[in-house]
């Protein structure tokens, strides 16, 4: 599938695939029409810990249309290459590590038969006692060697206890964040077809090339024998990074077992066990300050959970090493293995939880020091990355805070502030305002792209990128058009195919920055050759680019993105109902390739922060060891009616990190700090400090009763 649009970098062009999406022309993974299809439906474990003694599939197999029942004895065996994520080893063991884990699967000629038969599979378990609750005093907590993204499990650059003891003022509080589940609009889906001496997967996937490699390893195939096609994806947020998710593996396994193409679509309920989630956290933050309001020490201890089968540790303390100056810092992660599904990447993994705690703690410190929270943050800005001493490639935190304060109409607080800085009462509501800083690291990864000039004057550009709703299909076309020096209408952009070659996934906010680099290289190279008079042969003139060396050579500057969030929040004095009346996000992330799709992504992140602050929480029921709310009726994500006025300001920023287009990531930055700004606003309004998210209506009522 190709798309064309007229473009240049920086223009707010419309989405290249917008019309295809709204008219239904865009085919998502489950909508692939493939002849001779069968359907697979997983059978979830109904115990949280134990062992499968036997699977009785006789009743299921007697259902009309049922082709096979797979269990840990009958399912195809998988290879286990080094580094294989345990969640991928579907039906390879009789052990049950969490409730909802796949213990069998039914393949049938219709989805209805497969679902019906799945309910008839009888599984006999040897159940063992389970433990699914994260507790601060859990005896099995340990410090991991490393958290996600290589952040150290424990790290410090001095004696934080001594520095805190000597500080004039110290904040020492505990903050908690809840388990949050992935709910992209499109549930995970895969159509698996064994063909052409290999495997084709139409998969809802954040990284087709990386998935192809992982799947090939598991099935003992050469990487080029697996073709992953991921043309349209209805959201991902980290849950569709298939190197760690079992859905494509089960579809491929089922297709292999029955010798026909197989489709798999998870139900919304199944996603709560199978596609990872943001783990809960319990965080103690201590910040010391001197009389002038300079931080003297920052200590951040974070407790979180993982599963029995895989150690995943959210990098909760990571931002604490970056955002503010202080002579001494310490960050410690502690994790416990519980009988729960494996948590994983979810928009701003670690940072989203850690920035909530840090930014509420800073607000508390400002209140204690009786200074303005915007001014306190600016006073603790830093010229160099605090833990490494490296210079930043660009850093616009102060500018974001100042621009935001002005735009929002922020009324400074503290000793010399007047009546206007107090919360106001109007008509049964009490209204407060809050601020928080935003931070996320900026990464990018070497990738490959191809550009081809065709004899008819058209161009074809391809890269194994994945547009999960971010606008990648549109912005890469802009980058290609700019580099080729031609109108976008003359370019066909092909994304979403692993066969296009090695490329980074849409993750870690590094999709656009990673992909635009080799697209720019290939297109400039091709344009140069054409300008030098090179002739286009009948099959076209193709150049390939690999950015790996250039990315490596780009140097050692510290790369991060920053911003600031401001919120005005009202609480109904009688009912405790909370309304976020307006939210302003000011963000700086290098060159914004497309202001329209970027703004949309910033809105999305701010809305997800609203969910983190006020709505999203998956409750685990210790009895059955299961998530009690596992659908959209009981797990609440913000809907249109929840959202007040949103405003986004994108600051111009010139980045010195050597990226040819100057791109930095925005997908995760957009969510950072928003929850803290809302919580801080609600604390301002009610006079009660909120340290636990989501803040529920009963929490607000209790706070108002104390007034």
**What are the residues binding ligand MOS (CB under 6 A)?**
206, 236-238, 241, 345-347, 349, 507-508
Taking residue 529's Cβ as centre, other Cβ atoms within 10 Å add up to 15
668 tagged catalytic: yes
Residue 426 to residue 317: CA distance in whole angstroms: 39
Tokens standing for residue 423: 């919360």
Catalytic residue among 556, 577, 668, 698: 668
Compare residues 315 and 478 and give the one whose CB is closer to ligand MOS: 315
For residue 40, what are the contacts with CB-CB under 8 A and spacing of at least 6?
Answer: 105, 106, 107, 114, 250, 251, 254, 262, 263, 264
Nearest to 447 by CA among 526, 506, 393: 506
DSSP string for residues in 185-211: SS--EEEEEEETTEEEEEE--S-HHHH
For residue 226, what are the contacts with CB-CB under 8 A and spacing of at least 6?
Answer: 198, 199, 200, 201, 212, 213, 215, 216, 219, 498
Compare residues 297 and 506 and give the one whose CB is closer to ligand MOS: 506
Compare residues 95 and 311 and give the one whose CB is closer to ligand MOS: 311
The SS3 assignment for 516 reads helix
Residue 72 CB, shortest distance to ligand MOS, in Å, is 30
Residue 665 CB, shortest distance to ligand MOS, in Å, is 9
Query: Please, where are the H alpha helices in 452-576?
Result: 472-484, 511-531, 548-553
Residue 606 CB, shortest distance to ligand MOS, in Å, is 16
Residue 439 CB, shortest distance to ligand MOS, in Å, is 15
The SS3 assignment for 41 reads strand
Sign of CA dihedral 6, 9, 11, 12: positive
Residue 246 to residue 439: CA distance in whole angstroms: 31
Compare residues 237 and 410 and give the one whose CB is closer to ligand MOS: 237
Chain position carrying tokens 């009981």: 634
Q: What are phi and psi of 335, to 5 degrees?
A: -135, 150
Nearest to 2 by CA among 483, 470, 500, 485: 500
Residue 677 to residue 663: CA distance in whole angstroms: 27
Residue 346 CB, shortest distance to ligand MOS, in Å, is 5
Compare residues 244 and 448 and give the one whose CB is closer to ligand MOS: 244
The SS3 assignment for 55 reads strand
Compare residues 251 and 346 and give the one whose CB is closer to ligand MOS: 346
Compare residues 670 and 686 and give the one whose CB is closer to ligand MOS: 670
CA 118 to chain CA centroid, Å, is: 31
DSSP string for residues in 541-577: EEEEEE-HHHHHHT---B-EEEEEEEEEEEEETTT--
Residue 344 CB, shortest distance to ligand MOS, in Å, is 8
Residue 572 CB, shortest distance to ligand MOS, in Å, is 34
Compare residues 432 and 469 and give the one whose CB is closer to ligand MOS: 469
Residue 191 to residue 264: CA distance in whole angstroms: 6
Residue 241 CB, shortest distance to ligand MOS, in Å, is 6
Tokens standing for residue 30: 């489950």
Beta-bridge mates of residue 448: 546
Residue 582 CB, shortest distance to ligand MOS, in Å, is 27
Strands 38-44 and 102-108 come out as antiparallel
Residue 572 to residue 580: CA distance in whole angstroms: 11
Residue nearest to ligand MOS (CB): 238
Compare residues 230 and 346 and give the one whose CB is closer to ligand MOS: 346
Compare residues 367 and 612 and give the one whose CB is closer to ligand MOS: 612
Sign of CA dihedral 575, 581, 586, 592: positive
Residue 280 CB, shortest distance to ligand MOS, in Å, is 17
Query: Up-side HSE of residue 206: CA atoms within 13 Å toward CB?
Result: 26
Catalytic residues: 668
């Amino acid at each position: 599938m190709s798309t064309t649009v007229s473009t240049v970098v920086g223009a707010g062009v419309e989405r290249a695939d917008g019309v295809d999406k709204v008219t239904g022309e865009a085919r998502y993974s489950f909508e692939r029409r493939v002849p001779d299809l069968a359907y697979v439906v997983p059978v979830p474990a109904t115990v949280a810990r134990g062992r499968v003694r036997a699977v009785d599939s006789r009743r299921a197999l007697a259902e009309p249309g049922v082709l096979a029942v797979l269990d840990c004895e009958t399912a195809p065996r998988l290879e286990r290459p080094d580094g294989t994520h345990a969640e991928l080893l579907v039906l390879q063991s009789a052990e049950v590590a969490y409730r909802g884990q796949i213990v069998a699967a039914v393949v049938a000629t219709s989805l209805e038969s497969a679902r019906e038969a799945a309910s008839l599979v009888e599984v006999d378990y040897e159940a063992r006692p389970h433990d699914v609750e994260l507790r601060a005093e859990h005896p099995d907590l340990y410090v991991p060697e490393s958290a996600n993204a290589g952040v150290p499990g424990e790290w410090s650059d001095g004696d934080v206890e001594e520095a805190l003891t000597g500080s004039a003022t110290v904040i020492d509080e505990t903050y908690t964040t809840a388990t949050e589940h992935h709910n992209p609009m499109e549930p995970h889906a895969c159509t698996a077809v064994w063909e052409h001496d290999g495997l084709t997967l139409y998969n809802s996937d954040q990284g087709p090339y990386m998935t192809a490699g992982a799947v090939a390893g598991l099935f003992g195939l050469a990487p080029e024998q697996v073709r992953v096609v991921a043309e349209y994806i209805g959201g991902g947020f980290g849950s569709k990074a298939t190197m760690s998710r079992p859905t494509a593996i089960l579809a491929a396994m089922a297709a292999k077992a029955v010798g026909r193409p197989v489709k798999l679509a998870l139900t919304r309920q199944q996603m709560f066990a199978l596609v990872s989630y943001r783990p809960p956290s319990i965080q103690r933050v201590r910040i010391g300050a001197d009389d002038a309001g300079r931080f003297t020490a920052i200590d951040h201890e974070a407790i979180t959970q993982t599963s029995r089968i895989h150690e995943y540790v959210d990098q909760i303390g990571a931002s604490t090493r970056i955002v503010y100056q202080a002579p001494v810092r310490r960050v410690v992660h502690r994790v416990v293995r519980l009988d729960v599904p494996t948590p994983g990447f979810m928009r701003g993994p670690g940072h989203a939880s850690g920035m909530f705690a840090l930014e509420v703690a800073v607000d508390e410190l400002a209140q204690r020091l009786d200074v303005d929270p915007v001014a306190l943050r600016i006073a603790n800005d830093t010229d160099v990355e605090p833990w490494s001493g490296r210079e930043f490639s660009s850093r616009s935190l102060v500018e974001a805070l100042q621009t935001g304060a002005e735009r929002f109409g922020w009324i400074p607080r503290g000793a010399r502030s007047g009546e206007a800085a107090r919360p106001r009462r109007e008509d049964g509501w009490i209204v407060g305002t809050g601020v928080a800083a935003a931070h996320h690291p900026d990464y990018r990864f070497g990738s490959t792209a191809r550009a081809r000039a065709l004899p008819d004057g058209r161009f074809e550009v391809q890269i194994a990128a994945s547009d999960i709703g971010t606008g990648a299909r549109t912005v890469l076309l802009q980058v290609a058009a700019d580099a080729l020096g031609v109108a976008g209408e003359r370019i066909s952009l092909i994304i979403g195919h692993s066969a296009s070659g090695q490329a980074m996934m849409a993750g870690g906010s590094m999709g656009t920055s990673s992909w635009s680099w080799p697209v720019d290289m290939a297109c400039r190279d091709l344009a140069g050759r054409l300008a030098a008079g090179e002739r286009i042969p009948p099959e076209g003139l193709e150049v390939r680019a690999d950015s790996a060396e250039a990315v490596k050579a780009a140097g050692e500057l510290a790369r991060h993105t920053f911003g600031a969030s401001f919120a005005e929040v009202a609480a109904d004095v009688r009912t405790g109902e909370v309304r976020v009346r307006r939210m302003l996000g000011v963000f700086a992330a290098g060159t914004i390739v497309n202001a329209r799709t970027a703004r949309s992504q910033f809105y999305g992140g701010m809305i997800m922060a609203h969910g983190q602050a006020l709505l999203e929480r998956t409750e685990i029921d210790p009895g059955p060891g299961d998530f009690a709310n596992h659908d959209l009726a009981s797990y609440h994500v913000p809907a249109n009616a929840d959202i007040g006025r949103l405003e986004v300001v994108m600051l111009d920023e010139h980045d010195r990190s050597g990226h040819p287009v100057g791109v930095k990531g925005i997908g995760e930055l957009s969510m950072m700090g928003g929850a803290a700004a809302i919580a801080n606003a609600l604390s301002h309004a009610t006079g009660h400090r909120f340290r636990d998210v989501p803040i529920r209506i009963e929490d607000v009522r209790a706070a108002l009763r104390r007034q």
